[in-house]
């Protein structure tokens, strides 16, 4: 097949694939069998493309025949599609993440409101120290001290295995001595 014929075939498939699939489904009543029938028919049409005068009519006839053949195939010869045995995509088990979020939420509830607000703005909303200070209308040093003390309290409540962010080193050095 030359490049012009290939381009014509591709444009035909693009234009007709949806309607052929619908025709196959109406014939056999199963979307997966319908897709198989369409692909089988289009593969056969590809090899005969040069000799076919009316490709729409030929494709429709081939799709109907292929769909009927799929339905008539005895169950012991019918291939089971992989989709029946394997999920379409892996499902992530997020139960651990939900538990961890509930633990963090409960630990945050034990903090004073001002420290909780600072930690939420800094680590959940991603604000800087300056942005957090502006949002809470307080000095930046207050934000830094609340950050260090709030994280320390969360680590105590959640335990040593808690995956909490580290406060900036200058905050830790300055406020750890005074806490």
100: CATH: 1.10.10.10
Assessment of whether the complete model's pTM goes beyond 0.85:
no
What gap in Å lies between CA 79 and CA 82, rounded to an integer?
9
Per cent of the chain over pLDDT 90 is 26
Reported as a single tens digit per residue, the pLDDT across 134-162 is 888 899 999 999 999 999 998 888 886 65
Per cent of the chain over pLDDT 70 is 79
Reported as a single tens digit per residue, the pLDDT across 88-104 is 666 677 778 888 888 88
Q: What sign does the dihedral 127-128-134-138 (CA atoms) show?
A: positive
What gap in Å lies between CA 104 and CA 149, rounded to an integer?
16
pLDDT at position 38 is 93
28 and 59 part of one domain: yes
Domains in the chain, number? 2
Please state which of the ranges 64-68, 101-105, 171-175 shows the lowest mean pLDDT: 171-175
Confirm whether 90 is domain-assigned. no
Question: Final residue of a domain: which of 43, 62, 85?
Answer: 85
Confirm whether 106 is domain-assigned. yes
Question: Final residue of a domain: which of 66, 85, 104?
Answer: 85
Residue 131 has pLDDT above 50, yes or no: yes
39 and 99 part of one domain: no
What is the extent of the structural domain holding 137?
A: 95-178
List Cβ neighbours of 45 (8 Å cut-off, separation of 6 or more): 9, 52, 55, 58, 59, 62
pLDDT at position 93 is 72
Q: Would you call 174 exposed, middle or buried from its count of C-beta atoms within 10 A (0-12, 13-18, 19+)? A: middle
């Amino acid at each position: 097949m030359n490049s012009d014929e290939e381009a014509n075939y591709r444009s035909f498939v693009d234009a007709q694939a949806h309607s052929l699939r619908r025709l196959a489904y109406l014939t056999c009543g199963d979307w997966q069998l319908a897709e198989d029938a369409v692909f089988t028919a289009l593969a056969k049409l590809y090899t005969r493309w040069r000799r076919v005068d009316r490709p729409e009519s030929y494709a429709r006839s081939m799709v109907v025949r292929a769909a009927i053949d799929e339905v008539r195939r005895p169950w012991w010869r019918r291939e089971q599609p992989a989709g029946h045995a394997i999920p379409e995509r892996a499902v992530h088990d997020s139960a651990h993440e939900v538990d961890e979020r509930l633990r963090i939420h409960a630990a945050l509830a034990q903090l004073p409101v001002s420290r909780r607000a600072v930690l939420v703005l800094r680590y959940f909303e991603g604000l800087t120290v300056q942005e957090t200070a502006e949002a809470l209308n307080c000095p930046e040093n207050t934000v830094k001290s609340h950050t260090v003390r709030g994280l320390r309290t969360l680590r105590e409540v959640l335990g040593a295995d808690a995956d909490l962010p580290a406060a900036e080193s200058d905050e830790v050095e300055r406020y750890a001595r005074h806490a």
